[in-house]
Homo-oligomer: A and B are copies of this chain.
Amino acid sequence: MPEMNGAESLMRTLVACGVDTCFTNPGTSEIHLVAALDRIPQVRCVLGLFEGVVTGAADGYARMLERPACTLLHLGPGFGNGLANLHNASRAQVPMLNLIGQHATYHLRLDTPLQSDIEAIARPYSRWLRTATASSELGHDAAAAVAAARTAPGRIATLIVAADVAWSEGGVVAAPPALSAPSAPDNSNIEHASAMLRSGLPTAILMTGNALYGKGLAVAGRIAAATGAKLLAPYPVARLERGAGLPAVERVAYVLEQAVEQMKEFRQLILVGANAPVAYFAQPGKDSAFTSPECEIHTLASAGEDYVAALEATESALSLPHTEPVAEKAARPAMPDGAITLPGLAMVVGALLPQNAMVVDELMTSGRGMMAATRGAPPHDWLGNTGGSIGIAMPLAVGAAVACPDRRVLCLSADGSGMYTLQALWTMARERLRVTTVIFANRDYAVLKREFSYLGVGEPGGRALAMFEIGRPDLDWVHLAQGMGVPAVRATSLAEFARALRNGLESDGPTLIEVPL
C-alpha cells in the first residue's frame, strides 16, 4: 500500500464508511484535507459561502438519506458560524460528521490571531468530540466518528484535525465500523401502550424520526386505523411523509391556545421519540403544557430506541384484525384567483405540488394553512425547523436536493428567516439544484409582534416596532436572488404566483418567487 498522509487516510476511510458528500467552507488550516478531496472523486464536495449553509445542508441531507454527510469547516470561528443550524440539527436528531481544521500542533503555543478553543466551541452541539493526535490514527478516528454519528437516532460527531496531523505521512485507511443498532423497545412500555390503545379512551400517538415516514408510518397508520388513535407530529418536525394514500398525521400547532384546543380531546398520549408537547416559550402566569392535566402521557420509545420496532411490537401485542389504514384521499384545492392571500397561496401550492416533492417549511406566522391545503396532494415529504433557530429553510433545501437529485424541493421561507442564510441561494445556483424558493415577504419579524402583545407587555411602541419590522428599506428578494445567480420573480397576484410556481417546479435549476404580503 502506498504511503499516504493523514488527510488522505481520513477521507478514504469516510468513503469506505459510505460518506460520499462533503458540504464545506474550508480555510487555510483545512488545505491538506481539500488536497485529499482533490484526489478522491467519490466524494461530492458542495461549497457554501457561509457555514450556516453548510451545517443546515448536512442536516437536510441526513433527514432524507438517514446517513451522514460530512462538513469541513475552518477552525473555531468557522464552526461557530455553523452553530445555529447545528442546534437545529441536534434537535432533528440526524447523523452528521463535522471535520474542523486546527492549527499545526506546534503552532498553538504562538497564540496567533485565529487561535481559539475549538473543543469548547464544538462541545455544546457535539455528542461525540475528538481532537485527532496522530496521522496513523486519523483513519480510526474517522471511523469512530462515523459510528458515533450513526448511533440511533442520529448524532452530531465532530473531529478536530490539526494541520500537521493531516499533512504528515503514515495515514492508514480504517475499516468501516460496526454500527450499533438502536436499542430494542422495552416490553413493559409496549404492553402499557397496547393497553392504552385497547382502552377505548381518546388517544393520540405523537411521533418523531423514522416513525413519520416509510415503514414506521405504515405501521402507525394500521394501529391508528384499527384503534381510532390519532397520529400526531410535533410542530418542530424533521421529516413527515404525507399526502394522498398515506396515513393522516396532524402536526401539533405552534400557538399555545391552538395547541391546547387541538390536544384537549385526548385522555391518553403515547410518545414515540417525541417529548410531551409544550409551548416553545413560557408566558407569565400560563401553563406551558399543551395536554390537559387529565391526559395520561406514556413514552413508548425514546431517543436511542427503535421506533419502528416499538410500533411493530405494539401492533403485534394488539393482535389487530386486518384493517385498511385510513389514507388521505387524493384531493387538490381548486386553483384560486385574485389578490394574494395566505389561504390563496396555500391553495396554489396544494394545486401544484408535484409527486415526491420535498417541502421545506419555515413560514412561521404566514404558513399555518399550508399543510391543510396539501394533505391530499401526491405523496411528498415535509421538513420543518426542528430547533426554532431561524435560517434553516434554504440550507435544508440545498441538502435535500443534493441527497435526492431526482426529487424537487419547494422551499417556503419567511423573509426574516431567509435573511440569516441567504447565501444558500448561491449554492443552489452553482449546483443547479431543483429548488423553488418562495419568500413570504411580510417585512416583519411578525412572530415577535404577536409575542409582544401575547406576553402581556401591551402594544409595542415605535422603538420596539423598529426592532420587529424589517421594512424600511424593504428587502428586494428578486435582486438578492439574481445577485447570487438564481432567476427570480415577484408575484403580486395569485395567478402570477401560480404561473411562477409552475415555471419553478418545471425548471432545471433553482428559482425564487417573492410574494409581498
Also in contact, A113 and B84, with CB within 8 A (given A473-B426, A479-B483, A480-B483): no
- The docked-state distance in angstroms from the alpha carbon of A84 to that of B279 is 31
**Interface segment, A120-128, A129-137, A138-146, A210-218?**
A120-128
- The docked-state distance in angstroms from the alpha carbon of A116 to that of B85 is 13
A459-501 near B? 1/0 per residue, CB < 8 Å: 0111110110010111111111011110000000000000000
Number of copies: 2
Contact A463 B41 (CB under 8 A): yes
Distance between A21 CB and nearest chain B CB, rounded to angstroms: 13
* Set of chain B residues within 8 Å of A355, measured between Cβ atoms: none
Contact A35 B479 (CB under 8 A): no
Also in contact, A84 and B91, with CB within 8 A (given A460-B35, A479-B482): no
Question: Counting CB contacts under 8 A, is A447 at the interface?
Answer: yes
Distance between A441 CB and nearest chain B CB, rounded to angstroms: 12
Also in contact, A114 and B80, with CB within 8 A (given A448-B31, A467-B24): no
Contact A420 B164 (CB under 8 A): no
A256-297 near B? 1/0 per residue, CB < 8 Å: 000000000000000000010011111010001000000000
Distance between A503 CB and nearest chain B CB, rounded to angstroms: 19
Contact B388 A114 (CB under 8 A): yes
Contact of A80 among B38, B84, B462, B476 (CB under 8 A): B84
Contact A275 B111 (CB under 8 A): yes
Contact B461 A38 (CB under 8 A): yes
Q: Which residue of B lies closest to A457 (CB)?
A: B35
Contact of A76 among B87, B391, B462 (CB under 8 A): B87
Contact A80 B80 (CB under 8 A): yes
Question: Counting CB contacts under 8 A, is A386 at the interface?
Answer: yes
**Interface segment, A102-110, A195-203, A306-314, A394-402?**
A102-110
Contact of A484 among B88, B120, B278, B480 (CB under 8 A): B480
Contact of A83 among B83, B103, B470, B479 (CB under 8 A): B83
Contact of A32 among B87, B120, B391, B455 (CB under 8 A): B455
The range of chain A's interface size is 35 or more
Per the 8 Å Cβ criterion, residues 341-380 of A in contact with B are none
- The docked-state distance in angstroms from the alpha carbon of A342 to that of B34 is 29
* Set of chain B residues within 8 Å of A480, measured between Cβ atoms: 479-480, 483-484
* Set of chain B residues within 8 Å of A38, measured between Cβ atoms: 460-464
- The docked-state distance in angstroms from the alpha carbon of A330 to that of B467 is 44
* Set of chain B residues within 8 Å of A462, measured between Cβ atoms: 38
**Interface segment, A45-53, A176-184, A403-411?**
A45-53
Between A37, A77, A448, A470, the greatest number of chain B beta carbons within 10 A of the residue's beta carbon is seen for A77
Question: Counting CB contacts under 8 A, is A163 at the interface?
Answer: yes
Contact B76 A124 (CB under 8 A): yes
A residues apposed to B, CB below 8 Å: 24, 26-29, 31-32, 34-35, 37-39, 41, 45, 47, 49-50, 52, 75-78, 80-81, 83-84, 87-88, 91, 103-104, 106-107, 110-114, 116-117, 120-121, 123-124, 163-164, 167, 236, 275, 278-282, 284, 288, 386-389, 391, 416, 419-420, 422-423, 426, 429-430, 447-448, 451-452, 455, 457-458, 460-464, 466-467, 470, 472-480, 482-485
